[in-house]
Amino acid sequence: MTLFRRRLQETGKEMCFEATKMALDSAGLTRADVDTVVCGTAPDAFDGVAMKGEYLLDGCGGYRKPYTRVFTGGGTGVFSTIAGWWHVASGLADVALVVNEEKMSSCQPHPQSVFAHIWDPILDRPLKPNLVWIFAMEMNRYMTVYGVKKEDIARVAVKNKRNAVGHPCAQLADPNITVDDVLNSEVMAWPVQRLDISPPSDGASAVVLASEDFIRKRRIKDRAWISGVGWCIDSTMWTDRDLVFPEYVARAAKMAYKMAKIDEPRRQIDFAEPYDPFDYKELHHLEGLLLADKGEAPTLTREGVTERDGKMPVCPSGGLLGVGNPIAATMGMKIGELFWQLTGQAGERQIPREVHTGVSQAWGDLMQYGSVVVMRA
């Protein structure tokens, strides 16, 4: 993966090339070994290039190969890996390369204006909604129904920004941040404050997926196994859903757990990388992933269970809150961190006990989409 920064000088193609080259080098492979390429990237309007998949193609190493661009909003961060996986699992490919990119700095003055175009043109758009509003609404519903205190939610931002200190690509790592810093930060759309939110970023990331046969034949030692995948989307009629629980994440998780033969997720999963574009989302998603009871995730956070040295480390990478949020390229943490933790290569971020099973999850579209991957050492 590349550095995640508010602005990078490199173009999207150049960022893709850097990430792709790094992934191939680390697997000891070349472009010639790759059977198929999956590119994951979010709205074209961020980069300002329509048909962004084609635009990024050369940087992704995809030319003259079966190449597919996938996009499920923020959920692309985990979903593109699932799309790569099904190429290999079906036997169609031995090696699938997955490359995710986002260059959010192109859009002026702020990528926020692009999000105005995700809304229903008749029902929502005349009200001039801001994307932060819907997260604020979801967060408020979650807080009110379960009586969650803002300070317990702020603990997630503190944990993740501190965890990111050990991440070489991090944009917003902060070893000294406190709960008070978060609670005293600017109110953007109450209950969402500035430090509750991950930043817009430029960045790219890439992973190589290969069949068991190929890995054994080529004696690739750096490897972790995808043992379950799941994805699910809820209705676009978002004002008809109770926002308190992400049912679509729960369904995606159950699909992945079934495939991975996990029937007691809290006991069988060692650590998690849920999607954390906002601090409350980590809590929301932990409940969706069935790693916490409904309304229980804030308590687990307060008790330190989700710290890197806790019983269930959550976002040991530093997450989107600490490392940055180049939408699809967050695969660098969500999939990358599972791999690095499971192969004992996370360096300063390594969980201080042996871990065998990790789960990652991303979330997107109109608060309605969940993608889940279970990986084993």
Partner 1 sequence: MTARISRWPGIELTAADLHEGKVTQTRFRPDAKYAWSAGEAMSRFLEELQNGRLIARTCRKCARVLFPPRMFCEECFRPTDAWTYIRDTGTIETFSISYLDTDARRIPEPILVGVVSLDGASPKMGMMHYFGGMTKDEIRIGMRVKAVWKPKEERRGSVLDILGFRPLGEGES
Residue range at the interface with partner 1 (CB under 8 A); choices 4-12, 32-40, 225-233, 246-254: 4-12
What residues contact 214, with CB distance under 8 A and at least 6 apart? 94, 95, 220
Three-class DSSP labels, 247-285: HHHHHHHHHHHHHCCCCCHHHHCCEEECCCCEHHHHHHH
CB 200 within 8 A of CB 7: no
What residues contact 256, with CB distance under 8 A and at least 6 apart? 228, 229, 230, 359, 372, 373, 374
Residues facing 231 on adjacent strands = 371
Q: Is 3 in the site for partner 1 (CB under 8 A)?
A: yes
Among 51, 58, 190, 304, binds partner 1 (CB under 8 A): 190
Closest distance of CB 133 from partner 1, Å:
5
Task: Specify the residue, 114 or 272, whose C-beta has the smaller distance to partner 1.
Answer: 114
Q: Environment class of residue 205 by beta-carbon count within 10 Å: exposed (0-12), middle (13-18) or buried (19+)?
A: buried
Q: Is 245 in the site for partner 1 (CB under 8 A)?
A: no
Among 7, 217, 258, 266, binds partner 1 (CB under 8 A): 7
343-362: contacts with partner 1 (CB under 8 A): 343, 345-347, 349-350
Q: Residue 271 CA to chain centroid, in angstroms? A: 15
280-339: contacts with partner 1 (CB under 8 A): 336, 339
Place of tokens 């979903």: 79
Q: Is 130 in the site for partner 1 (CB under 8 A)?
A: yes
Task: Specify the residue, 63 or 190, whose C-beta has the smaller distance to partner 1.
Answer: 190
Q: Is 132 in the site for partner 1 (CB under 8 A)?
A: yes
Could you tell me how many residues of this chain bind partner 1 (CB under 8 A)? 69
Among 94, 101, 102, 138, binds partner 1 (CB under 8 A): 138
Among 62, 84, 191, 322, binds partner 1 (CB under 8 A): 191
Host H or E run for residue 62? none
Closest distance of CB 15 from partner 1, Å:
7
Q: Is 123 in the site for partner 1 (CB under 8 A)?
A: yes
Among 133, 146, 214, 245, binds partner 1 (CB under 8 A): 133
Closest distance of CB 257 from partner 1, Å:
25
Q: How far is CA 345 from CA 26, 153, 330, in A?
A: 12, 30, 18
Q: How far apart are the first and last CA of the chain?
A: 21
What residues contact 89, with CB distance under 8 A and at least 6 apart? none
Taking CB under 8 A as the rule, which mask of x and - marks residues 25-64 in contact with partner 1?
-x---------------------x----------------
DSSP state of 231: E
Instruction: Tell me the residue length of the chain.
Output: 377
Host H or E run for residue 370? strand 369-376
CB 280 within 8 A of CB 142: yes
Among 30, 63, 187, 216, binds partner 1 (CB under 8 A): 187
Residues interacting with partner 1, by CB under 8 A? 1-10, 15, 18-19, 22, 26, 48, 105, 108-110, 112-113, 116, 121-124, 126-130, 132-133, 136-138, 140-141, 144, 167-169, 186-192, 202-203, 222, 235, 237, 239-243, 336, 339-340, 343, 345-347, 349-350
